[in-house]
Amino acid sequence: MSKVYNIAVIPGDGTGPEVIAEGLKVLNAVSSRFGFKLNYTTYDFGGERYLKTGEILPDSAIEEFKKHDAIYLGAIGHPDVKPGILETGILLRTRFALDQYINLRPVKLYPNVETPLKDKTPNDIDFVVVRENTGGIYTGHGGVTRFDTPDEIATQLMVYDRRTVDRCLKYAFELKRKRNAKDKKYADKPITLVHKRNVLLYCGDLWYRAFEEMGSKDFPEIKRDYNHVDAANMWFVKNPEWFDVVVTENLFGDIITDLGAMIQGGLGVAAGGNINPEGVSMFEPMGGSAPKYQGKNVINPMAAIAAGMMMLETLGEIDAAQSIENAMSKVMQKMKSQAAGKMGYSTTEVGDMVAGIL
């Protein structure tokens, strides 16, 4: 009997449904070829539903997600909804409720994809950011007093405990070990911790000590490096070839992965996973809902296809994931650009070409 995976699909807002449709096309093509089956349950959470019903994400949805093998998400964000409501109510809520403690963001430049970095090639831009995804400033500790007076005080605390730091570091070191075994070009590079320990004396020191301890004790063969987050920004631009696995806390990871998305060719290609290595993970293109392109068949579905590839990889369908990557790479070489409206093909044509190769 062939393997069956149950996938919760949240197409979401704006161009989300268009790119997810192409992603599903590709997933279906590959599953029939590699002999597994994907069952989908579609959920209409997002801005439209919120505006119609006032409902963001009911508790029952979280319980249903837990019964699936993975979640495939398009985009959340609606121009008529105040910023923060959907982001915290859907995205962050799911991350926390399902304990998706890793945000995995490959930063990989494929051949023929344009990077704004002069003279950098696919050989130079091929690293992964492991962002801690449940702690730090995102936990929401803090508050406000003397609201809306000239004396208003607002606090928002960076909160970390050793267990949260350690489990993230363990994931990053294990990923580094795997990449080192795969290719010598990775093994020559260090794992890099990014923080701001020259200023964030407590949280930075906690991360640094935990990193040094785990590295020297459990992963002695792996080279270690450390960058302050501001410097990491500079090196991502000037010397991206220095990086292989980058591990960092939540907010710094949020910031540096958007920079990562740009140097790998933009939001048309960047994908990410919200991963619970022991539970249910959620995969998404980084592009957002891009309402101005909605319904025009011009948005690039490559990032959503890449998110589907990451989903299969995490589910253990390594060969199927690899074949998606090969097909994506072939199609990217034919495309004029990875930017919406400039691809030389429509959204559906790009999906058709990738699925066609598979």
Name the site residues for Mn ion (rule: CB under 5 A): 254
The entry of ligand IPM, Mn ion, none near residue 91 (CB within 5 to 8 angstroms by kind) is ligand IPM
The answer to whether 75 and 16 have CB atoms below 8 angstroms apart is yes
Q: Which residue number places its CB atom closest to Mn ion?
A: 254
The entry of ligand IPM, Mn ion, none near residue 222 (CB within 5 to 8 angstroms by kind) is none
The DSSP secondary structure of 322-344, one letter per residue, reads: HHHHHHHHHHHHH-S-SSTT-SS
The entry of ligand IPM, Mn ion, none near residue 124 (CB within 5 to 8 angstroms by kind) is none
| Residue 252 CB, nearest approach to ligand IPM (Å) | 11
| Residue 287 CB, nearest approach to ligand IPM (Å) | 11
| Residue 197 CB, nearest approach to ligand IPM (Å) | 22
- Determine whether 58 is exposed, middle or buried from the number of CB atoms within 10 Å of its CB (0-12, 13-18, 19+): exposed
| CB closer to ligand IPM, 87 vs 152 | 87
| Residue 35 CB, nearest approach to ligand IPM (Å) | 33
The entry of ligand IPM, Mn ion, none near residue 275 (CB within 5 to 8 angstroms by kind) is none
Choose among 74, 18, 64, 13: nearest CA to 41. 64
- List interacting residues with ligand IPM (CB under 6 A): 87, 91-92, 254
First to last CA, the chain: 22
Residue 162 corresponds to which amino acid?
A: R
| Residue 154 CB, nearest approach to ligand IPM (Å) | 18
| CB closer to Mn ion, 93 vs 296 | 93
The entry of ligand IPM, Mn ion, none near residue 205 (CB within 5 to 8 angstroms by kind) is none
Q: How far apart are CA 321 and CA 93, in angstroms?
A: 28
Q: How far apart are CA 261 and CA 342, in angstroms?
A: 18
| Residue 85 CB, nearest approach to ligand IPM (Å) | 11
HSE value, Cβ hemisphere, 13 Å, CA-based, for 282:
26
Phi/psi at 57 (nearest 5 deg)? -155, 105
Q: Tokens representing 142?
A: 């803090």
The entry of Mn ion, ligand IPM, none near residue 311 (CB within 5 to 8 angstroms by kind) is none
| CB closer to ligand IPM, 254 vs 349 | 254
| Residue 209 CB, nearest approach to Mn ion (Å) | 27
The DSSP secondary structure of 191-230, one letter per residue, reads: EEEEE-TTT-HHHHHHHHHHHHHHHHHH-TTS-EEEEEHH
| CB closer to Mn ion, 72 vs 138 | 138
The entry of Mn ion, ligand IPM, none near residue 87 (CB within 5 to 8 angstroms by kind) is ligand IPM
